[in-house]
């Protein structure tokens, strides 16, 4: 059983968790299920989502797996339709999908050092990191928070300490998380 310090009463609530197969969001999903929420696990890859779903089921909770790409609004709309038919409207949205790319990372911590510099970062890689961390959060909120209008709900956006104190070598990730 997932151990949590308190139990909120979330019976009958539907929670959508993007990045639901990841380390942090899988724990959030399990905690929500332990509090009675029906959980929709969203991600691009089904195998990690299936593992989390199985854990939630083993712990007596309810979860559905829905593959979707948060950077593609039509994919999110399809996921929304699936979740509506299986669980109902979204009450809680956790925007947890995110990450970085090696080609959006410098190889040196200061100018003139060894490896790829800030000035050589790939433009498409930078866009991809922004799409995943910022645009993906925006699009998921547009699609799922519409269920909350007029009846209430909660949106939680997961960021990173890099938003407040950027680390060297990962300027695109730090900027995207700050956005």
Q: Which residue has the tokens 């409207």?
A: 89
Contact 30, 7 (CB under 8 A): no
- Measured CA angle at 92 (ends 86, 95), to 5 deg: 100
**Residues 39, 24: Cα–Cα separation, whole Å:** 15
Backbone angles phi, psi at 101, to 5 degrees: -130, 140
SS3 content of the chain, % helix, strand, coil (to 5): 45, 15, 40
Q: For residue 110, indicate whether it is catalytic.
A: no
**Residues 179, 159: Cα–Cα separation, whole Å:** 9
Q: Which of 173, 174, 176, 177 is the catalytic position?
A: 173
**Positions marked active-site:** 173
């Amino acid at each position: 059983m997932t151990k949590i310090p308190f139990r909120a009463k979330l019976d009958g609530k539907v929670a959508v968790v993007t990045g639901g197969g990841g380390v942090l969001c899988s724990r959030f999903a399990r905690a929500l299920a332990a509090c009675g929420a029906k959980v929709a696990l969203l991600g691009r890859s089904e195998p990690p989502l299936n593992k989390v779903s199985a854990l939630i089921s083993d712990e007596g909770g309810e979860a559905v797996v829905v593959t979707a790409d948060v950077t593609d609004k039509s994919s999110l709309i399809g996921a929304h339709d699936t979740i509506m038919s299986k669980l109902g409207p979204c009450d809680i949205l956790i925007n947890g999908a995110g990450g970085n790319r090696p080609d959006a990372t410098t190889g040196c911590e200061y100018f003139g050092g060894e490896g790829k510099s800030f000035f050589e970062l790939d433009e498409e890689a930078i866009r991809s990191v922004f799409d995943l961390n910022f645009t993906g959060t925006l699009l998921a909120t547009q699609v799922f928070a519409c269920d909350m209008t007029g009846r209430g709900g909660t949106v939680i956006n997961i960021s990173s300490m890099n938003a407040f104190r950027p680390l060297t070598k990962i300027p695109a990730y730090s900027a995207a998380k700050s956005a």
